[in-house]
Chains A and B, each alone.
Chain A
Amino acid sequence: MRELRYREAVREAIAEEMEADESVFLMGEEVGHYQGAYKVSEGLLARFGEKRVIDTPIAEAGFAGIGIGAAMTGLRPVIEFMTWNFSFVAFDQIISNAAKIRQMSGGTIDVPIVFRGPNGAAKQVASQHSHSVDPFYTNIPGIFVVMPATPRDAKGLLKTAIRCNDPVVFLEGETLYNVKGEVPDEGEEELIPFGKGRIGREGTDCTIVAFGRPYYETMQAAEKLAEDGIECEVVDPRTLRPLDLDLLVESVKKTHRCVVVHEHWPYGGPGAEIVDQIQRHAFDWLDAPIERVGSLDVPMPYASNLENFVLPTVERITDAVRKVTYSEKK
């Protein structure tokens, strides 16, 4: 297997699907001539031409709506939001149209569209541009929500998303784009199904559920805890809707403790949903209340030190694990 950066893996997925299916096209701000705000779409304009790699004005509601219409008529648009923060002006299109058309048309109209872009905090982009939007979109029945942490997962899941006949919210990460990881060699096509999580690290003492960017803090925390003899099992659900509950419950039944790590705010969201599902399905296997580690409950501060303080840290994750394993340092 070769190593790719996350952005390259995303690009490969788009290119491969565009190559395989003429109805697939990419649309968004700066995706063409500028080669993508984060260089995800680098080279795609030259390769596929202006009809299939379309630069749009700064008008998210407009191009999201155009994409939905195109999907309804049989195309497979990949809509890039420069960041998911900007999806809020297209929120109504996504919620009221993309998520509803199938049901409102009595199941007769597919909406095979992918909305994708970086989610969550970057580096010092402050309160309005640091949203983790997963709680908003996971709440909506009618759309899939995918949040891959690794290049391999990003590629395999994006290919599945583009082939999916329903709307998919595909959450990448600005700080993830440079992450390197193993990806199957060219020609070895891998489609990762929705609703199947992945065990990032096996362990016996505590299950840590982590997805998106804090997956990496979680892996670090697990290594640190292992030095003290606490072996954590890190489980990445990869898709938040549907959720691989079987895998989560199986792991918790083995470890008897659970910490859920997420970047979004603490009130509600997929983090809380996961806790709720686990406590109901693994109640008799739990040795401690499930803990959560998320961003602190404040708008993101601009100052670098404060931003690092607000985001889930390795230290907060290890503290939570020590709490549920009753091994808090005296």
Chain B
Amino acid sequence: MEEGTLAKWVVSEGDSVDVDDLLAEVETDKATMEFRSFDRGVLLKILADEGDTLAPDTPVAIIGEKGEDISELLEQVKSGGGAEPSGSSDDDAAEDDDDAEEEADESEAEDDTDESDDADESDAPKSKKKKKPKKSSKDSGDQPKKKSAKPKKSGDRIFASPLVRRLAREENVDLAEVEGSGPHGRIVKRDLEEYLESGGGEASSATSGGFSSGGTVWDRQPPVVEKASQMRKAIARRLTESKQTVPHFYLTIDVDAQGLIETRAEMNAALTDEKVSFNDLVIKAAAVALRRFPDANASWIDGAIHRHQVVDISVAVAVAEGLVTPVVRDADRKGVLAISREVKELAARARNKKLTPEEMQNGTFSISNLGMYGVEEFAAVINPPEGALLAVGALRDTPVVKDGQLVAGKRMKLTLSCDHRVVDGAIGAQYLQVLQTLLEKPATMLL
């Protein structure tokens, strides 16, 4: 996690808080997380306002004893990060306090705001004063997973000077967007400055799509500039990265949906209070097809093909701010009704922003359906590091030729977006053949 927005304070200054009490809600690019207290005491001071976007480890509040003097802490917070190095000005010899130096090094390396760390150390007995949302430690459970789920750029590591990395953190710049002019394409201070001057980075990305040079275009009616939500930023970053680094190609088939319609009708007739949707059936069929034709269930990560052992389907769900992709795990082994219930439940929580990051990570294949909007067919952007995505169009009445006769038919178009690095044209086509059979003769899913 690079930053989060403090969505809402649940407690106010002066409130007593206990360990594990809910303090605030923090909106990340994926979900709204609960921020709970690690300490017991009185909330003396709130340092971050609702709506503030903050980097991890930024102090947001001070918890201490009632009536405690926090002026010194406030000074430290104000003066921000970057402690002085613990240089050796020792009179004896430059080397004789190695330990102390190493400690200082560690705190510097781990933490930009190490000034506060130092303070914590120096008055260790009465510490626990400072409350910092150490999201890294809080999320420690999912941190490694998160890492592996993050798509690598084809160039893998971004080379940037330590200074640039620090400035990029402070300025919220995605270094993937900055071109490096140093050796091995190293991004150096000058490159970052040029990038920021040319309107790169956060502030301008909302307004300019890179074509407002001079700002003259919309002078008459300037656009309303809206601050991008964390989710919007994540979408912008990830999908740009996907389109720029994943070689997409698209395969479309037109499926006879008659069998699907009949199967769904039979299923729903057997159900009392609930119904399964076409999309549920498509998820099931796509998952079974992946199990039967596993070549399409693969990812290109770090220059190697990762063939998945599981069939975990990411399902695109539109929410108010954009879209999220909760994952139906082992969809090939679940019944249509189980899938249906799970999708409904995930979608409901997605709309309330209550999905956990884990629930949106590590899918192996995505399905996106715009059929309900009457879209006949569309080509979607792959959700890296997944190797393919199935875009489902509307079920439609159309004249078809059957046994040489023109008759009324039910059809549905499916477009598979493939990452050519792992899914070649023939593989994608064969997968669609398998899928087509399953959709046209749903009973064969039982085989």
| A residues with CB within 8 A of B | 141-142, 144, 194-195, 241-246, 248-249, 256, 273, 280-288, 326
- Known contacts A287-B188, A288-B161; A281/B94 CB under 8 A: no
Q: Which residues of B contact A283 (CB under 8 A)?
A: 108-109, 162
Does the CB pair B87–A245 fall under 8 Å?
A: yes
The yes or no answer to B181 lying at the interface (CB within 8 A) is yes
Bound Cα distance A242, B165 (Å): 32
Q: Which of B94, B104, B112 has most chain A Cβ within 10 Å?
A: B94
In the complex, the chain B residue whose C-beta lies closest to that of A280 is B105
- Could you say which residues of chain B place their CB within 8 Å of the CB of A284? 108, 112, 162-163, 165-166
Contacts of A241 in B (CB 8 A): 93-94
Query: Can you list 13 pairs linking A and B with CB atoms under 8 Å apart?
Result: A195-B88, A242-B94, A244-B89, A245-B87, A245-B89, A281-B105, A282-B85, A284-B112, A284-B163, A284-B165, A287-B164, A287-B189, A288-B182
**A to B contact number (C-beta, < 8 Å):** 76
The minimal Cβ–Cβ distance linking A275 to chain B, given in whole angstroms, is: 14
Q: Is the CB of A286 within 8 A of B85?
A: no
When the two chains form the complex, which single residue of A142, A286, A288, A326 contacts B93, counting CB atoms closer than 8 Å?
A142
Task: List B contacts of A142 (CB < 8 A).
Answer: 93
Contact, CB under 8 Å: A195 / B89? yes
Tell me, yes or no, whether B66 is within 8 Å of chain A by CB.
Answer: no
Q: B62-96: which residues lie under 8 A (CB-CB) from chain A? A: 84-96
Known: A256-B163, A283-B108. A246 touches B94 (CB 8 A): no
The answer to whether B109 touches A242 (Cβ under 8 A) is: no
In the complex, chain B residues 144-191 whose Cβ is within 8 Å of any chain A Cβ: 161-166, 181-182, 188-190
In the complex, the answer to whether A286 meets B161 with C-beta atoms within 8 Å is: yes
Given A284-B112, A284-B163, 11 other A-B residues pairs in contact with their CB atoms under 8 A: A194-B91, A245-B88, A246-B85, A256-B189, A273-B94, A284-B165, A285-B163, A286-B161, A287-B162, A288-B161, A326-B188
A286 and B189 CA atoms in complex are apart in Å by 9
- Kindly provide the distance from the CB of A140 to the nearest chain B CB, expressed in whole angstroms: 9
Inside 8 A of B182's CB, which chain A residues have their CB? 288, 326
The docked-state distance in angstroms from the alpha carbon of A326 to that of B164 is 14
Residues from chain B with a CB closer than 8 A to the CB of A281 are 85-87, 104-105, 108
Closest 7 CB pairs of A and B: A245-B87, A246-B87, A281-B85, A284-B166, A287-B163, A287-B161, A287-B189
Closest chain B CB from A40 CB (angstroms): 27
In whole Å, how far is A98's beta carbon from the nearest beta carbon of chain B? Answer: 14
**A195 partner residues in chain B, CB cutoff 8 A:** 88-91, 94
Among B91, B109, B182, find the residue whose CB has the most chain A CB atoms closer than 10 A. B91
Taking Cβ atoms with an 8 Å cutoff, the residues of B that contact A are: 84-96, 101, 104-105, 108-109, 112, 161-166, 181-182, 188-190
**B85 pairs with A249, CB closer than 8 A:** yes
Contact of A245 among B85, B162, B163, B166 (CB under 8 A): B85
**Cα(A284)–Cα(B162), bound, Å:** 5
B93 touches A141 (CB 8 A): yes
Chain A residues whose C-beta falls within 8 Å of the C-beta of B161 in the assembled complex = 286-288
Pick the residue among A141, A246, A288 that contacts B84 (CB under 8 A): A246
Contacts of A287 in B (CB 8 A): 161-164, 188-189
- The answer to whether A285 and B93 have CB atoms under 8 Å apart is no
Roughly how many angstroms separate A285 CA and B162 CA in the complex, as a whole number?
6
Q: Which residues of B contact A243 (CB under 8 A)?
A: 88, 94
The reply to whether B190 and A326 form a contact with Cβ atoms under 8 Å apart is yes
What is the distance, in angstroms, from B444's C-beta to the closest C-beta of chain A?
60
Q: How far is the CA of A176 from the CA of B163 in the complex (A)?
A: 37
Chain A residues whose C-beta falls within 8 Å of the C-beta of B188 in the assembled complex: 287-288, 326
- Tell me the nearest residue of chain A to B96, going by C-beta: A141
Residues of chain A lying within 8 A (CB to CB) of residue B109? 283
Roughly how many angstroms separate A224 CA and B86 CA in the complex, as a whole number?
34
Chain A nearest CB, measured from B107 CB (Å): 12
Chain A residues whose C-beta falls within 8 Å of the C-beta of B105 in the assembled complex: 280-281
In whole angstroms, how far apart are the Cα atoms of A287 and B189 in the complex? 6
The interface residues of chain A lying within 8 Å CB-to-CB of B86 are: 281
Tell me, rounded to whole Å, the shortest Cβ–Cβ distance linking A57 to chain B. 33
B84: chain A residues at CB < 8 Å are 246
Cβ contact within 8 Å between B181 and A246: no
Could you tell me the distance in whole angstroms from the C-beta of B165 to the nearest C-beta in chain A?
7
CA distance A287 to B165 in the complex (A): 9
Nearest neighbor of A141 in chain B, beta-carbon distance: B93
Residues of A within 8 A of B162 (CB): 283-287
- Give Cα A285 to B161, complex, Å: 9
Residues of B within 8 A of A286 (CB): 161-163
Closest residue on chain B to residue A195 by CB atoms: B89
Which B residues are CB-close (under 8 A) to A141? 93, 95-96
A242 B92 Cβ-Cβ under 8 A: yes
- CB atoms of A242 and B189 under 8 A apart: no
Closest chain A residue, CB of each to CB of B105: A280
A287→B164 CA distance, assembly (Å): 7
A245 to B87 alpha-carbon distance, docked (Å): 5
* Shortest Cβ gap from A251 to chain B (Å): 12
Report the minimum CB–CB distance from B164 to chain A (whole Å): 7
Across the interface, which residues of A come within 8 angstroms of B190, CB to CB?
Answer: 326
- Give A256 to B166 CA distance when docked, in angstroms: 12
Q: Are A242 and B91 in contact (CB under 8 A)?
A: yes
Min distance, Cβ B341 to any Cβ of chain A, angstroms: 50
Residues of B within 8 A of A273 (CB): 94
Q: Which residues of A contact B91 (CB under 8 A)?
A: 194-195, 242
